[in-house]
């Protein structure tokens, strides 16, 4: 596995780092709506992530896996020694109404992990003009800015998962989670200042250095900076809770017009920036405003529930649903914005109690470039 330090990665030439930089120069991260080989999820096993609700989480994961299997293969990462037959049966019986699960598309891999947030700990796959054609980028993981104990298995997961499916891994010495970046596959990348520029990730790297990194590793020619994320998100504001590309020059963004909503200020700032932006190809962004779901009832700060945390699959979109009136509005907006794709609602209220959602719990493996 190749390893790059921050300094060597930013050098224009020289040594092994220069050779790897040349290989990465022909690489790009495809947009999520481009064809997938498969999707990854990590079967839940850490009760501390959903305290007091862990019994409800496996059925929610089974519904998510079953829905994915209706559209494409799903690769389920489990703890060594897990009861694969029981998990497969649960998935087979959990398909959402009107969605036929396809258990034959479910594949298991016994790889240890600390938690289930594969979006952040799994590899980011890039398609490359040079051999071998596809690489798996393994970023450095520091438990979301050091908020949790040392997650050694999560830190090693990207490389282990890539090896399991025969993709060469490249370890980059940059702290980055997959939920912190959103690309259109054409050189544009969305990110939040509150996360990527937070000193708890990469102290000493400024905005320009981070942009250079993202350009070299992902083919991102223009970074579109948003202000921040929603309340309750312990990632310092991952972009996949607030704004997502839905096509070239098109973005779906979380928004509320209620000034009493604690997210009103940051979402208004994000929207204003998006409406003033052009993408890497010079297109003015067209923005679809997604409502915020009704806040979950209960004590303390509500969990980070957002319709922007949807997930593209081949021919469809999996949309988080929270059992509130805004579900129907969000679904209608996505169906109107994404003709030809089937929008499937996935119950996400319990999942959000773990401080994430269905996009955070999935990772796509794009099909190699033709």
d(CA 121, CA 358): 15
Give the model confidence (pLDDT) of 76-134 as tens digits: 999 999 999 999 999 999 988 889 889 999 999 999 999 999 999 999 999 998 767 89
Q: What is the pLDDT of residue 300?
A: 60
For the chain of 370 residues, list the mean pLDDT of each consecutive stretch of 10. Answer: 40 45 83 98 97 94 97 98 97 91 95 98 94 89 95 97 95 96 98 97 94 94 98 96 98 96 97 98 98 69 91 98 96 98 96 96 94
- Domain architecture of the chain: domains with CATH: 2-366 (3.75.10.10)
- CA–CA distance, 302 with 112 (Å, rounded to integer): 30
Q: How far apart are the C-alpha atoms of 168 and 170, rounded to whole Å?
A: 7
* Average pLDDT score, the chain: 92
Global pTM reads 0.94
| Residues 248-266: b if buried by 16+ CB within 10 A, e if exposed | bbbbbbbbbeeeebebeeb
What is the side-by-side strand order in the sheet with 134-140? Answer: 2-4, 168-175, 134-140, 124-128, 27-28
Please tell me the predicted confidence (pLDDT) of residue 2.
46
Specify the pLDDT at position 262.
93
In this structure, the chain runs to a length of 370
Would you state the pLDDT for residue 299? 53
DSSP state of 258: -
Q: H or E segment at 137? A: strand 134-140
Q: What is the pLDDT of residue 26?
A: 84
Q: What is the DSSP string of 190-243?
A: EEEHHHHT-TTT-TT--HHHHHHHHHHHH--SEEEEE----TT-TTS--GGGTE
Using one digit for the tens of pLDDT, what is the confidence trace for 185-210?
999 999 999 999 999 999 989 999 99
Quick one: CA dihedral 337, 251, 240, 322, positive or negative?
Answer: negative
* Residues identified as active-site: 360
């Amino acid at each position: 596995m190749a390893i790059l330090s921050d300094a060597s990665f930013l050098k224009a030439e020289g040594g092994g780092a220069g050779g790897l930089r040349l290989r990465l120069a022909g690489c790009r991260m495809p947009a999520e709506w481009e064809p997938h080989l498969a999707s990854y999820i990590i079967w839940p096993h850490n009760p501390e992530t959903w305290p007091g609700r862990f019994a409800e989480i496996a059925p929610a994961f089974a519904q998510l896996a079953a829905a994915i299997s209706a559209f494409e293969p799903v690769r389920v990462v489990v703890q060594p020694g897990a009861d694969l037959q029981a998990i497969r049966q649960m998935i087979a019986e959990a398909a959402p109404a009107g969605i036929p699960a396809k258990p034959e598309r479910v594949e298991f891999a016994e790889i240890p992990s600390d938690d289930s947030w594969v979006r952040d700990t799994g590899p980011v796959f890039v398609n490359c003009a040079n051999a071998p054609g596809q690489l798996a980028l393994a970023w450095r993981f520091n438990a979301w800015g050091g908020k949790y104990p040392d997650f050694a298995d999560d830190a090693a997961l990207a490389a282990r998962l890539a090896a399991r499916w025969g993709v060469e891994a490249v370890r980059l010495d940059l702290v980055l989670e997959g939920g912190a970046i959103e690309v259109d596959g054409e050189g544009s990348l969305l990110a939040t200042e509150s996360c990527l520029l937070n000193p708890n990730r990469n102290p000493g790297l400024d905005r320009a250095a981070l942009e250079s990194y993202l350009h070299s590793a992902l083919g991102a020619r223009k970074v579109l900076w948003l202000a921040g994320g929603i309340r309750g998100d312990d990632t310092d504001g991952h972009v996949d809770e607030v704004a997502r590309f839905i096509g070239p020059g098109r973005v779906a963004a979380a928004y509320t017009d209620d000034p009493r909503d604690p997210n009103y200020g940051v979402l208004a700032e994000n929207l204003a920036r998006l409406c003033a932006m052009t993408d890497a190809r010079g297109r003015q962004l067209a923005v679809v405003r997604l409502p915020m779901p009704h806040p979950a009832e209960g004590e303390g700060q509500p969990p980070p529930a957002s319709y922007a945390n949807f997930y593209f699959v081949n021919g469809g979109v999996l949309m988080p649903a929270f059992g509130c009136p805004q579900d129907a509005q969000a679904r209608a907006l996505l169906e109107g914005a994404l003709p030809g794709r089937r929008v499937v609602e996935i119950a996400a209220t319990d999942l959000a109690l773990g401080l994430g959602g269905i996009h955070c719990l999935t990772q796509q493996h794009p099909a190699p470039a033709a």
